[in-house]
Amino acid sequence: MASSDSTALLTDKYELTMVDAAIHSGVANRRSVFELFGRRFSSSRRYGVVAGTGRILEALARFQFDDDQIAWLEDQRFLSKEALDFLANFTFSGDIYGYAEGEIYFPGSPLITVEGTFAEATLLETLLLSALNFDCAVASAASRMTIAAHGRPCIDRGARRTHERAAVSAARAAVIGGFTATSDLEAGRRYGIDTVGTSAHSFTLIQDSEKDAFAAQVATLGPDTTLLVDTYDIHQGVINGVEAARAAGSELGAVRIDSGDLVAHAFQVREQLDSLGAHSTKIVVTSDLDEYAIASLGAAPVDTYGVGTKLVTGSGVPTAALVYKLVEREGQDGESVPVAKLSESKGTVGGRKVAGRLYSPDGRAVQEALVMGASPEEDTRRLEDAGARLLQVPLVKNGEILTEGWSPEATLQAQERHRLSRNELPYQAWRLSDGEPGVRTRYYDAETPIERF
């Protein structure tokens, strides 16, 4: 395997040093359960959206240390021969469960559960967190934006506002959150996402006139194209665009406005288009939009929103602040025991959790129920008996990756799953204002009856 294909060094050094020390202390092969979750939300988030799981599965298939990587690690002189031998032969052989992509989550939700030896589960920490912390942040922002859009399409235009590889991941996460297309071609190629894009202001400026620019674009891309009408004067730009399309024998597909008072411009342009008989020509707005700007445009005659910077930076919440913690381990007697951190403000709840969502009689989600203390099978039965919807699905079984989780079809399935999951939320969870999580989380041990609603 070539170094450029392996994902094994996309990790933190301390994971390898922990494995080395665990090998020498004799605990490397202890059966362990790790959970990936968020302790709390930013005040501007009332729910989170799971995204990135498909990318994790794709990366896990290439998580093996090749000869060049082992040679480099040996040259660094911080690992023992035993650790290097372990890494050279490493293949994950455990189980991974998680929330399905597109699912809503809340503080404490075990988005990912990894079961395996301590050594192999430890090695996956950074791989899991780096993907989910970014993708969940973008998908959560995208979901808020599509709520604000009230059914009008939102398009990802963030490729020029982030790292080139992050842009590909962001496009996928945005689609899971409800976006319909992306400007990024690699995202389109890799994940089967619809791509959009026509021209920038520079194309108008390089031509001798705006009329020449629009005529050239229509001749090449067809009258159904989208013309950027605010390079000079918007009013004249609309006239020039409509005329260019009609000269080609059709109505203009759309105009794009990228500056100024978007609300006022949208009303003025819609009135102008209608007065010119261009009733079918749509209006696309861009210009540093976020969910609040989109909401402010709700009454304006806008057809499509193009979102860039605020989308790929999580609209003020650039990371989902997820963590990866050991919650259960094999003891000296071979029995599994819960473990937990007691650190101030960073404590954890020990024990493997089985997650379910409880609903009111009218079908609204009211509680994230995390059950522990018995076997996973018994905890699952308790949730089912309480009428909960189970949230975790298998992702990896005995080291075998369920590859359908990262197919192009999986992305659209995740989008639909997100739509259905979001529709279950109570009204307060949809609000864009700051507030508490829309659904509360409760932990249940083996002795506590599960609430019924």
Q: What is the CATH number of the domain that holds 48?
A: 3.20.140.10
Euclidean distance between CA atoms 358 and 368, whole angstroms = 6
Question: From CA 376, how far away is CA 421, in angstroms rounded?
Answer: 24
- Residue 308 CB neighbours (<10 A): 22
* Assigned domain for 310 exists: no
Question: In terms of domains, do 359 and 277 share one?
Answer: no
Q: Which residues are within 8 A (CB) of 390 and not within 5 positions of it... i.e. 6 or more apart?
A: 354, 355, 356, 380, 383, 384
Where residue 409 falls among pLDDT bands split at 50, 70, 90?
confident
Average pLDDT over every residue of 28-56: 97
Residues 285 and 330 in one domain: no
pLDDT in tens, 122-160: 999 999 999 999 999 999 999 999 999 999 999 999 999
Classify residue 311: in a domain, yes or no.
no
Are 280 and 322 found together in one domain? no
Residue 217 CA to residue 253 CA, distance in Å, equals 12
Q: Report, in this order, helix, strand and coil percent for the chain, each rounded to 5.
A: 40, 20, 40
Apex CA 318: angle with CA 314 and CA 323, to 5°?
Answer: 125
Q: What is the pLDDT of residue 425?
A: 98
Name the DSSP letter for residue 451: P
What backbone torsions phi and psi does residue 201 show, to the nearest 5 degrees? -60, -30
**Is residue 27 located within the same domain as residue 126?**
yes
Give the gyration radius of the chain's Cα atoms: 25
pLDDT given for residue 89 in this prediction: 97
Tokens of 232: 């000079």
Length of the chain: 453
Is 155 domain-assigned? no
In this structure, are 357 and 417 located in the same domain?
yes
| Cα–Cα nearest to 53, from 309, 402, 420 | 402
Mean pLDDT over 340-352 rounds to 93
Helical H segments across 26-65, by residue range: 53-60
In a domain, 120, yes or no: yes
Domain final residue, candidates 247, 276, 302: 302
CATH code for the domain in which residue 293 is found = 3.20.20.70
Q: Is the dihedral of CA 221, 309, 189, 100 positive or negative?
A: negative
Q: Please report which confidence band the pLDDT of residue 239 belongs to, taking 50, 70 and 90 as the band edges.
A: very high
In this structure, of 28-32, 37-41, 293-297, 399-403, the range with the lowest mean pLDDT score is 399-403
Selection from 294, 28, 311, 42 nearest residue 161 by Cα: 311
- Looking at the fold, whether 321 and 440 belong to one and the same domain comes out as yes
pLDDT(4) > 70: no
97 — pLDDT class (breaks 50, 70, 90) = very high
**Is residue 19 assigned to a domain?**
yes
Walk across the sheet containing 392-397 and list its strands. Answer: 336-338, 322-330, 31-38, 112-117, 95-99, 392-397, 400-401
d(CA 247, CA 218): 9
pLDDT value at residue 50: 98
Per-residue tokens: 167: 């842009």
Higher pLDDT, 2 or 21: 21
CA distance 308 to 210: 25
On the question of pLDDT at 2 being above 70, the answer is no
Helices (H), 297-448: 309-312, 376-385, 408-423, 427-430
Gap between the Cα atoms of 172 and 143, Å rounded: 13
pLDDT at 404 over 80: no
Res 406: pLDDT:
72
Return the DSSP state at 224: T
Q: Does residue 447 register a pLDDT over 60?
A: yes
126, 204: one domain: no
- Tell me the one-letter amino acid at 51: A
The pLDDT of residue 405: 74
Tally of domains in the chain: 2
Tokens of 118: 């301590």
Closest CA to 178 of 424, 444, 414, 400: 414
**205-224 average pLDDT score:** 98
Look at residue 408 in the predicted model and tell me its pLDDT. Answer: 74
218 assigned to some structural domain: yes
* 226 and 325 housed in the same domain: no
| pLDDT at residue 375 in the model | 93
Tokens of 67: 């000869």
Q: Does 171 reside within a domain?
A: no
Could you tell me what percent of the chain has a pLDDT over 70?
A: 99
Largest interatomic CA distance in the chain: 83
Which helix (H) or strand (E) segment holds residue 94: the answer is none
* Residue 264 confidence (pLDDT): 98
Of the three residues 242, 276, 302, the one that is the final residue of a domain is 302
User: In this predicted model, what pLDDT tens digit does every residue of 154-207 receive, in sequence order?
Assistant: 999 999 999 999 999 999 999 999 999 999 999 999 999 999 999 999 999 999
Contact 307, 156 (CB under 8 A): yes
Q: Is residue 363 part of a domain?
A: yes
d(CA 47, CA 108): 12
Query: Tokens standing for 443?
Result: 């932990």
| Whether 130 and 38 share a structural domain | yes
Mean pLDDT of the chain: 96
Domain membership of residue 44 as a residue range: 13-138+317-338+349-444
**Looking at the structure, do residues 274 and 391 belong to the same domain, yes or no?**
no
Task: Please state, in angstroms and rounded to a whole number, the distance separating the CA atoms of residues 153 and 179.
Answer: 7
Same domain, 370 and 288: no
Kindly state the average pLDDT of the residues 399-421.
Answer: 90
Residues contacting 308, CB < 8 A, separation 6+: 156, 157, 158, 160, 161, 286, 288, 289
Residues 28 and 111 grouped into a single domain: yes
- Percentage of the chain exceeding pLDDT 90: 95
